[in-house]
Chain A
Amino acid sequence: MTKQRWLANLLLLVVAILVPTIFKTPYLVHLFVLSGIFALFSLAYDIVIGMMGQFSFGHQALWGLGAYISALLAVDTGVSPWFTIPAGAIGTGIFGFAMGWISLRLRGAYLGIITLGFAVILQEVIINWKTVTHGWLQVLRIPAPKLGDTALNTPFSYYYLVLAFLLLTIYFIKSIQRSRFGRGLAALRENEQRAISLGIPIFKYMVVAFTISATLSGLAGALFAHYVHTINPNTLATSYLWAALIIVLVGGSGTLGGPLIGTLLFIFVPEWLRMAAALRFAVFGILIVVCVVFVPEGLYPRLLSLWNRFIVSRVKG
């Protein structure tokens, strides 16, 4: 990549590491922790939306499932979160594999609806299987992971845990983009029939990509559970789906920077709208419509192209 890009990334990395030092208030750091978790979820979601070019309206269930698996293991069997969090991710990955294998025979809105079906069914099962999932009674006192004797239950400490996972995820997604598999996904997104005629096994690729997306979504959900310490069936609500959708589309799907910018806006803009809850969301809705209509390609791509034009005009001028 260009030297400019490399430097920009390095700068961002340094800033990210120094966030708790720069923003000293616990509440602000808390917002950054949430940003990290939602960014992870959105990047996972964008594997399906942006990289693969398909629909999914069921990812909220993958997020919630990861949370539940990890939380229940930690609370009801006492296993350390260092094990339950990966277990949550892997368990969700397995469910995601089944979900993808069944659903990816369809396309477009039909694929969206069938994945939504999976989500609704899963949520209902979680609500009703009271003996295992606690039903509507929340899963309480979910422990934070421990480093030696200290529990990572402050925003400051948890921030670095989330950041580590986020950086790993970003690197992983970059690796996919630079690999044969990533190109295959791009091919099937751009022209499915042509990809098939060039020997690319698209069903297999889609299921694998969906499974990866599910695993990472479960990871995000598990990290969420061990941070907020309480979950209930509303953790699978469609609100989380809308969050991911807003983040990915407003930020810019198919890019790495898109979900990252989108997450920061999604978490921080409502904070800046200092007004009563409902009015705040109504205004947020207005902002969403404005963004989508005026910047349909996403904010990150638009900023990039503005930056390039700026550079070009500086060079020429």
Chain B
Amino acid sequence: MGWSQLRQQIFYGLTNGMAYALFAIGLSLIWGIVGVINLAHGELYMLGAMLAWLVGTTLGLNFFGSAIVSIVVLGAVGILCNRVAVQPLLGVRNFLLLTLLSTLGLSMIFMNGAIVVWGDISREVTTPFSEIIKVGGIQVSGERVVTFAITVGAVLLLHFFLTRSKLGKALRASAQSSFGARLVGIDLKRIYALGFALASALAALAGILLAPIWYAYPHMGQAMLIKGFVTVILAGLGSIFGCVAAGLFIGLAESLFGYYISVYYRDAFCFLIMVIILLARPTGLFQKAG
């Protein structure tokens, strides 16, 4: 019967969901800490993938080497984004809308820049774990499993960082109250830079892990961005674990709905769920303070 299909769809759903979660965490961090909706987040994700591919093919580094270079570089790019598009607008009226526009400008620069440098084509990316094996009657791709595992690891690391380390606590404090954070002597500008660096590194990581599954192309960030927003909103502001739960929920719902009911209305279905949840619980499913 369709049991193995069901297991397959659940597998896809959960792994997709984890991917959305990894992407969304960066978005959620910036929104929580800096108060900015970063429309360039998708492009940082895309640049992460592209740069790793570029480094791998031109410098001949292996997968891990390229990944590390890409993540570090994108972290720096994130700091640059903050410096250029967010920091000058701190304290200005309409901050949220203006940073929306400035990050939109950044996303245009990055995406079109990528088209100019790499061409508007899709590239296939290979990794050391590209094998697909059959487990329990379903197709299990190594890349999906690795993405899942690394995301879980990243989330745990992040959680410990945010709750145990001094810097992490400063980040959380700034997310709760920028005024209060300043009172206790936290340098907000450096915190915001750190937040952006962290979020961009996570976005790059997501891009590197997902490019093998979904191909690498300049527009790949755009499609993810909307999913990312839905995930962050459902998770509720400031909740890392919420992002995971929300991501898994969306991935699963999307896969099952798409396979069993209608693949055509899949996106509409996800948004409909989001609309209903927003109306019922306007602060998200897992709203937590930090």
Q: Are B104 and A106 in contact (CB under 8 A)?
A: no
A151 CB-CB contact with B under 8 Å: no
A188 CB-CB contact with B under 8 Å: no
Q: Are B113 and A293 in contact (CB under 8 A)?
A: no
Q: Select A117's contact among B37, B98, B271, beta carbons within 8 Å.
A: B271
A67 CB-CB contact with B under 8 Å: no
Q: How far is the CB of A153 from chain B (nearest CB, A)?
A: 33
Q: Are B105 and A286 in contact (CB under 8 A)?
A: yes
B85 CB-CB contact with A under 8 Å: yes
Chain A 193-206 interface 0/1 with B at a Cβ cutoff of 8 Å (1 = within)? 00000000000000
Q: Are B85 and A293 in contact (CB under 8 A)?
A: yes
Q: How far is the CB of A247 from chain B (nearest CB, A)?
A: 10
CB-CB under 8 A from B264, the residues of chain A are 124, 127-128
Whether A288 contacts B108 in the complex (CB less than 8 A), given A110-B282, A282-B116, A293-B89, comes out as yes
CB-CB under 8 A from A120, the residues of chain B are 226, 267-268, 271
Binding site secondary structure of chain A? helix
CB-CB under 8 A from A109, the residues of chain B are 31, 37, 96, 233
Tally chain A residues at the interface, Cβ within 8 Å: 43
A113 CB-CB contact with B under 8 Å: yes
Most chain A CB within a 10 A radius of its CB, from B94, B115, B272: B94
Q: Are B106 and A285 in contact (CB under 8 A)?
A: yes
Count of A-B contacts judged by CB separation below 8 Å: 122
B109 CB-CB contact with A under 8 Å: yes
Chain B 231-250 interface 0/1 with A at a Cβ cutoff of 8 Å (1 = within)? 00100000000000000000
Q: Select B116's contact among A113, A118, A278, A293, beta carbons within 8 Å.
A: A278
Q: How far is the CB of A184 from chain B (nearest CB, A)?
A: 20
Within 8 A of A (CB), among B98-148: 98, 100-102, 104-109, 112-113, 115-116, 120
Q: How far is the CB of A283 from chain B (nearest CB, A)?
A: 8
A299 CB-CB contact with B under 8 Å: no
Q: Are A289 and B106 in contact (CB under 8 A)?
A: yes
Q: Are A292 and B101 in contact (CB under 8 A)?
A: yes
* Apart from A294-B88, A296-B93, 10 more pairs, CB < 8 Å: A55-B97, A113-B229, A114-B279, A116-B271, A117-B272, A125-B268, A250-B101, A253-B94, A286-B105, A292-B102
B residues with CB within 8 A of A: 31, 37, 84-85, 88-89, 92-94, 96-98, 100-102, 104-109, 112-113, 115-116, 120, 226, 229-230, 233, 264-265, 267-268, 271-272, 274-275, 278-279, 282
A residues with CB within 8 A of B: 49, 55, 102, 105-106, 108-110, 112-114, 116-118, 120-121, 124-125, 127-128, 242, 245-246, 249-250, 253, 276, 278-282, 284-289, 292-294, 296-297
